[in-house]
Amino acid sequence: MFGRFLGSDLARVAIRALGRLRRKEELDGDEEYAVERLLSWLSRVGGADGNPLLDEVLDETQREFLLSYRLPESEADSTPGGSAQQRSRQYILPARTPRGSSLPSLAAAPAGVSGGMPAADAPGLPDVPSRASSEEVEADGSPELAEMLRKLDDWESFDVFRLAELTDGRPLQTVALALLRKRGLIARLGLPEDRLRCFLSDVEEAYHGHNAYHNSCHAADVTQALGAMLAADSFAEHLSDLEQLGVILAAIIHDVGHPGVSNDFLIRTQSEAAVAYNDQSINENMHCAAGFKLLAKKENCFLCRLPAEDFRYLRRLVIRIILSTDMARHHDSVEDFTASLRLWGPHLLAWAPDKRVVALQLLVHAADISNPARPLRFSSEWGRKVHEEFFAQGDKEAALGLPVSAICDRRRASVPQSQLTFVEYVVRPCFSALAEFAPTFVGKAQPHIEAAQHYWQQQLEREQAAAAAAEQGTGAAAEEEPPEVAPTLQQLHLHAPPQQPPALPQ
Ligand SMILES: [Zn+2]
């Protein structure tokens, strides 16, 4: 596998760039990316110094150049409290974002959520087991995959289902690594990429592949959506590196370990998770805890070099963002954001430091519910998948002798009606609230939301026409079939004003 990487096109680009002995700043984007991949590969196979495979393709001068590239001054000392920490503070946050004691005052982490930051250990190349990851996928280098990763920010063409095929079921780690790299966070924050890859690989495994919807493909989709938002509009320029890492990390782990059933189901069945989290945002609390537990594994702890204060800040941020993905908080999230927007306007720099998290929460929530804002060929597929999962829950409810939730009842629920409700009363208000804050992204999304609404309206009319024809054709037998129902807010456990029509969970 390692030899294959060195023979890949990516490695050839890196070696050609090194051959010219140019400084990092003189490389073009593709060359810089290729050299970073080479360095990443080297960190896994034992470094550039005396590597027999590399000896064949680089002379001594080129190898020395590569080593100097590997350890720029800002990364040479990663000991917490050392000089690198002082330097890192210059690039972790932009100039006008408050630091130190004036960090945004996030609420304390909920009790019972475990996962702390292991102490930073020796700097340098960590001793971690090699395992299959997006690294090999990239090394094998299908041109289609390379093209997809180059267009990672593209809202129109990104196809997460195809990405899952191309990466042999590893879309999440592929998207996450590419996004963190693309935004320069790995380099600027000095994140050890081998640990990051191990973490991402574990997270992807912890998503349940048997869920029709809440699997790692959904997490990859949400992570890419967030990346597309960050790339499209200028607000991202005013986010600190820690804030950017916070939203991306939250997107990556926001549904990890999802059991494929709703919070309501977990409460009704008196599940262990419901008891552990006192019936409060059970799944969301569980995702947070599961994500941080994976991060706490020594071989996964890619945040170990962050100053302790920065880690605590990042952890509080990620927890708040993930808890806000609970659909029961949807209306509150939109209202909080809208109120802040009215008060301070669309430029994030004008927002009170402790309110910036409100914007970050809504961004990740919008990414989480962005299916109908995708091109129709993707949004219709996501609509089908989410209902497949709902119906699987309905089957479990029936098997347990529980009343079957309206939206989960495969005999009665109408997929088009549910999707229309979701688009109209959940997705539209959220994206409308974001329109002033992220105008370019919302401008791309809105035509697709219109198209999705039109499509599901047509599907609903067809479904109703078919039902009417069946009723006429079968007479009394048809009359015995229960009528189609739309879910109520109570059934869906959304906290909405009573005058609002029903909406759907995600
Ligand atoms: Zn989700």
Structural domain contains residue 494: yes
Tokens standing for residue 339: 């109120």
Q: Are residues 397 and 307 in the same domain?
A: yes
Q: What's at 156, amino acid-wise?
A: E
Q: Are residues 35 and 183 in the same domain?
A: no
Cα(263)–Cα(62) distance, rounded to whole angstroms?
A: 57
User: CB under 8 Å to 387, separation ≥6 — which residues?
Assistant: 413, 415, 418
* CA of residue 269 to ligand 1 center, whole Å: 22
| CB-based burial label for 58 (10 Å; 0-12, 13-18, 19+) | buried
Among this protein's residues, is 387 annotated catalytic?
Answer: no
- Selecting among 208, 210, 214, 454, the annotated active-site residue is 214
User: CB under 8 Å to 393, separation ≥6 — which residues?
Assistant: 260, 261, 262, 265, 405, 408
* Count: domains in the chain: 2
Q: Are residues 330 and 477 in the same domain?
A: yes
Structural domain contains residue 366: yes
State the DSSP code for 413. B
Q: Are residues 490 and 367 in the same domain?
A: yes
Q: Are residues 55 and 156 in the same domain?
A: no
Q: What's at 348, amino acid-wise?
A: L
Q: Are residues 319 and 458 in the same domain?
A: yes
Binding-site annotation, residues for AMP = 214-218, 255, 368, 419
Q: Are residues 161 and 249 in the same domain?
A: yes
Cα(323)–Cα(300) distance, rounded to whole angstroms?
A: 23
* CA of residue 228 to ligand 1 center, whole Å: 16
* CA of residue 254 to ligand 1 center, whole Å: 6
Q: Are residues 63 and 171 in the same domain?
A: no
Mean of the per-residue pLDDT values for the chain? 80
Which pLDDT belongs to residue 217? 98
Which pLDDT belongs to residue 89? 27
* CA of residue 211 to ligand 1 center, whole Å: 12
Structural domain contains residue 311: yes
* CA of residue 426 to ligand 1 center, whole Å: 14
Tokens standing for residue 197: 């890859």
* CA of residue 376 to ligand 1 center, whole Å: 19
Q: What's at 144, amino acid-wise?
A: E
Binding-site annotation, residues for Zn(2+) = 218, 254-255, 368
Structural domain contains residue 319: yes
Q: Are residues 317 and 441 in the same domain?
A: yes
CATH number at residue 285: 1.10.1300.10
Which bin fits 141, alpha (ψ -120 to 50), beta or left (φ > 0)?
Answer: left
Secondary structure class of 357 (helix, strand, coil): helix
CA nearest 239: which of 73, 94, 76? Answer: 94
Which pLDDT belongs to residue 35? 73
Q: For 327-344, write each residue's pLDDT tens digit.
A: 999 999 999 999 999 999
Q: Are residues 202 and 297 in the same domain?
A: yes
| CB-based burial label for 278 (10 Å; 0-12, 13-18, 19+) | exposed
Angle, CA 264 vertex, CA 258 and CA 266 arms, to 5°? 55
Neighbouring CB atoms inside 10 A of 253's CB total 27
Which pLDDT belongs to residue 320? 98
Domain-terminating residue out of 51, 71, 91: 71
Structural domain contains residue 270: yes
Residue 442 CA to its chain's centroid (Å): 18
Structural domain contains residue 232: yes
Q: Return phi, psi of residue 485, to 5°.
A: -130, 150
Per-residue pLDDT of the chain (506 residues; tens, 9 = 90+): 444 566 666 677 777 777 776 666 677 666 776 777 777 666 655 555 556 666 667 777 777 777 666 544 333 333 333 333 333 322 233 322 333 333 334 433 333 333 344 444 333 333 333 344 445 445 456 899 999 999 999 999 999 999 999 999 999 999 999 999 999 999 999 999 999 999 999 999 999 999 999 999 999 999 999 999 999 999 999 999 999 999 999 999 999 999 999 999 999 999 999 999 999 999 999 999 999 999 999 999 999 999 999 999 999 999 999 999 999 999 999 999 999 999 999 999 999 988 999 999 999 999 999 999 999 999 999 999 999 999 999 999 999 999 999 999 999 999 999 999 999 999 999 999 999 999 999 999 999 999 999 999 999 999 999 888 888 876 544 444 444 444 443 333 333 333 344 444 44
| CB-based burial label for 446 (10 Å; 0-12, 13-18, 19+) | middle
Q: Are residues 46 and 184 in the same domain?
A: no
Helix intervals (H) in 369-425: 376-399, 415-422
Structural domain contains residue 18: yes
Q: For 404-450, write each residue's pLDDT tens digit.
A: 999 999 999 999 999 999 999 999 999 999 999 999 999 999 999 99
* CA of residue 361 to ligand 1 center, whole Å: 13
Q: Are residues 35 and 169 in the same domain?
A: no
Domain-terminating residue out of 55, 71, 87: 71
Binding-site annotation, residues = 214-218, 254-255, 368, 419
CA dihedral angle for residue 476, residue 478, residue 481, residue 483, rounded to 10 degrees:
-110
* CA of residue 494 to ligand 1 center, whole Å: 16
CA nearest 152: which of 125, 124, 131, 181? Answer: 181
Neighbouring CB atoms inside 10 A of 43's CB total 20
Domain-terminating residue out of 17, 47, 71: 71
Domain with 289 in it: 144-506
Neighbouring CB atoms inside 10 A of 405's CB total 22
Structural domain contains residue 247: yes
* CA of residue 370 to ligand 1 center, whole Å: 10
Neighbouring CB atoms inside 10 A of 101's CB total 6
CA nearest 283: which of 505, 39, 4, 29? Answer: 505
